Amino acid sequence: MSKLISRRELLKRAGVAGVAAVVPVTADKRPQQGPAFAAPQAAAAREPLEHLTAMESDVLEAIVARLIPSDARGPGAKEARAAHYIDRALGGALASSRTLYAAGLAAVEEVAQSFRGKAFKDLLPDEQDDILSRFDSGTVQGFADAAAFFAVVRAHTLQGTFCDPYYGGNAGFVGWDLIGYPGVRTLVTPDEQRLGADVPFNRKSAYDYEMFTKAVASAAPMGAITHGD
């Protein structure tokens, strides 16, 4: 494909549309936060890394920012700290993907340098999209796992954007705001169960409730169900 899909289409294809269908993304029911969102212009200082190298972090931050970009409606994956979620989880629940990330992020940087003469993070959005489209379609010479890498990063970006904030992503609940998810409910009134009901956003992690138990993540075989820090 010549252009990356819109973030709404990305959510639909990834299955998040199950939630979005209940509270449509086009009907903005997020808490009112003043004027339309404008991405900060100043470059933020790099936060401490747990498993990625500095180069890998720069490339990953740029990738997630293009997969679910911020726009006039609000923040995207970068502001949700999806890359932080991935970096953290690569030492635990996502540890089996660490080798693929090392190869894939290096390949993205190599393609950027070869075709554009710049670091991937310094390219214009359209230039970044062109490179990512090559990975999505698996047409990167010398890297047979390009499509697999793109699919993994996309899946993990979705996780990091829409997960419970306890796991290191969805900072400020921006992912839940994006799809209109009001948050965890331990009690739902009959009125709140009505179709189209205006349910207030509670902005709480599941682990703010004593009934949910925090688990420690560990490297697990592919297919195993893992949760935790």
Q: Where are the alpha helices (DSSP H) in the chain?
A: 7-14, 17-20, 54-67, 82-89, 98-116, 125-136, 146-162, 174-179
The mean pLDDT of 165-172, rounded to a whole number, is 94
What per-residue confidence (pLDDT) applies to 148? 97
3-state secondary structure of 79: coil
Report how far Cα 158 is from the mean position of its chain's Cα atoms: 4
In a domain, 96, yes or no: yes
Q: Tell whether 135 is covered by a domain.
A: yes
Considering the domain boundaries, does residue 117 fall inside one? yes
CB-CB contact of 83 with 60 (8 Å): yes
Is residue 110 in some structural domain? yes
Closest CA to 181 of 54, 16, 3, 13: 16
Residue 126 has pLDDT above 80, yes or no: yes
The span from the CA of 151 to the CA of 156, in Å, is: 9
* Domain of 163, in residue numbers: 7-23+49-208
Q: Please report the pLDDT score of residue 198 as a whole number.
A: 82
Whether 221 is in a domain gets the answer no
Q: What is the pLDDT averaged over residues 121-136?
A: 96
Structurally, the chain folds into a number of domains equal to 1
What is the C-alpha to C-alpha distance for residues 118 and 114, in angstroms, rounded to an integer?
8
Q: What is the separation, in whole angstroms, between the first and last Cα of the chain?
A: 36
In which band, very low, low, confident or very high, does the pLDDT at 20 lie, cut at 50, 70 and 90? very low
Per-residue pLDDT, 56: 97
Taking all residues of the chain, what is their mean pLDDT, rounded to a whole number? 80
What's residue 179's pLDDT?
A: 87
d(CA 88, CA 52): 9
Question: Is residue 16 included in any domain, yes or no?
Answer: yes
Helices 54-67 and 146-162: crossing angle in degrees, nearest 10, is 80
Contacts of 27 (CB under 8 A, 6+ apart): 180
Q: Give a yes or no: residue 216 inside a domain.
A: no
Percent of the chain with pLDDT over 70: 73
Look at residue 43 and tell me if it is in a domain: no
pLDDT on residue 173: 94
Instruction: Indicate the pLDDT class of residue 72, thresholds 50, 70 and 90.
Output: confident
Strand partners, 131: none
More confident residue, 130 or 34: 130
- Are 72 and 37 spatial neighbours (Cβ–Cβ below 8 Å)? yes
Lowest mean pLDDT among 36-50, 68-82, 107-121, 158-172: 36-50
The whole model's pTM is what? Answer: 0.76
